[in-house]
Amino acid sequence: MFKKLSIFFIYSVILSLIIASNNTLGYCYTCEETKNYRAHIVAINPDIYTLEIVKAKNIINLWSRETVDHIARRTHASIAINGGFFQYNGKPSGTLLINNTLYHRDVRKHTVIGKTIHENINITTINPTQLLYPYVSCVQGIPRLLENGQIPLYTQKQTSSFYTKPHARTALGIKADGTIVIVVVEHKNTFSQGGCTIMELATIMKNKECQSALNLDGGGSSTLWIEGATVSKNKEKEPLLMLFGFERWVSDAIIFIPKIKIQ
């Protein structure tokens, strides 16, 4: 056990040095640990990177699902995370709009993260009758973790296990200066144990000075990919794929691509 922890520590230090050096190129990676979880955190400069939402390709006839690794590689992304919640066949469970193509629309009041026609990235709560315009692309998450820098009362009051039990999590937040913060919390062991609660996740986002933040799909879906490699260690829990420790195939991903090619 000590040997494994030592190897991971060395790996994390090396990875942090390599990726943190890219701060001048528009993003900075850090890793924080507690006894229950490991949190991967990336702060991204929106003046240098553009956010895109990408739908998984129909790799298998019955599934419209793909790993974040596959999506990131085929789109030439620099950074990628998993996106919204989805059904087993890859159909989005919530609102998903990509380049003005609507894949699904939630008829209830809900919150989305997306990009507008003016290239602005924001998090907005939408009413059932409200048009998605001016969004070009957006994906739904639940719950909203922060609004105006505070944890919403609704989120604080929830008592279901989804909120109160520790799980692997993925979140995206926006700071006052427009910096995008992504957080991927992973399980502390290969048996999918550990993680953080929704309130712990919201607190992480608040401590990172986000003004607005949204929880995305989590558990085995939670994935962070940077510059050619999957950084997080969450693995698939579906029986056949779990046997091989494969990354979960997801419905969509949020990727970041340099606006100008970095030499």
Location of structure tokens 């989804």: 162
What is the per-residue pLDDT across 143-176, written as a single tens digit (0 to 9) for each? 999 999 999 999 999 999 999 999 999 999 999 9
Highest average pLDDT, of 33-37, 200-204, 228-232, 247-251, comes from: 200-204
What local confidence, expressed as pLDDT, does residue 154 receive? 95
**Does 113 or 21 have the greater pLDDT score?**
113
- Is residue 177 within 8 Å of residue 164, measured between CB atoms? no
What local confidence, expressed as pLDDT, does residue 233 receive? 81
Q: Establish whether the linkage from the previous residue to 143 is cis, with ω within 30° of 0.
A: yes
- Is residue 143 within 8 Å of residue 198, measured between CB atoms? yes
What is the per-residue pLDDT across 77-99, written as a single tens digit (0 to 9) for each? 999 999 999 998 899 999 999 99
214: three-class secondary structure by DSSP: strand
- Share the mean pLDDT of the chain: 87
Dig out the tokens for 207 from the structure: 């401590």
**Does 112 or 22 have the greater pLDDT score?**
112
Residue among 104, 68, 100, 101 nearest 83 (CA): 68
Give CA–CA dist 209/134, Å, rounded: 26
121: three-class secondary structure by DSSP: strand
CB under 8 Å, gap of 24 or more: what pairs does 158-164 form?
A: 158/198, 162/198, 163/197, 163/198, 163/199, 164/197, 164/198, 164/199
What local confidence, expressed as pLDDT, does residue 58 receive? 79
Residue among 50, 94, 99, 100 nearest 76 (CA): 50
Runs of H (alpha helix) within the chain: 2-20, 68-75, 153-157, 161-164, 198-207, 239-242
Dig out the tokens for 12 from the structure: 């994390």
What local confidence, expressed as pLDDT, does residue 179 receive? 98
Give CA–CA dist 131/134, Å, rounded: 8
- Is residue 224 within 8 Å of residue 189, measured between CB atoms? no
25: three-class secondary structure by DSSP: helix
- Is residue 96 within 8 Å of residue 140, measured between CB atoms? yes
Say yes or no to pLDDT of 4 above 70.
no
Dig out the tokens for 131 from the structure: 């048009």
Location of structure tokens 């940077």: 226
Location of structure tokens 């997080």: 232
What local confidence, expressed as pLDDT, does residue 22 receive? 52
**Is 0.75 surpassed by the pTM of this model?**
yes
Q: Which of 24-38, 42-56, 234-248 has the lowest mean pLDDT?
A: 234-248
Say yes or no to pLDDT of 61 above 60.
no
Q: What percent of the chain has pLDDT over 70?
A: 81
Dig out the tokens for 54 from the structure: 């990408």
Say yes or no to pLDDT of 206 above 90.
yes
Say yes or no to pLDDT of 218 above 70.
yes
What local confidence, expressed as pLDDT, does residue 190 receive? 55
Say yes or no to pLDDT of 187 above 70.
yes
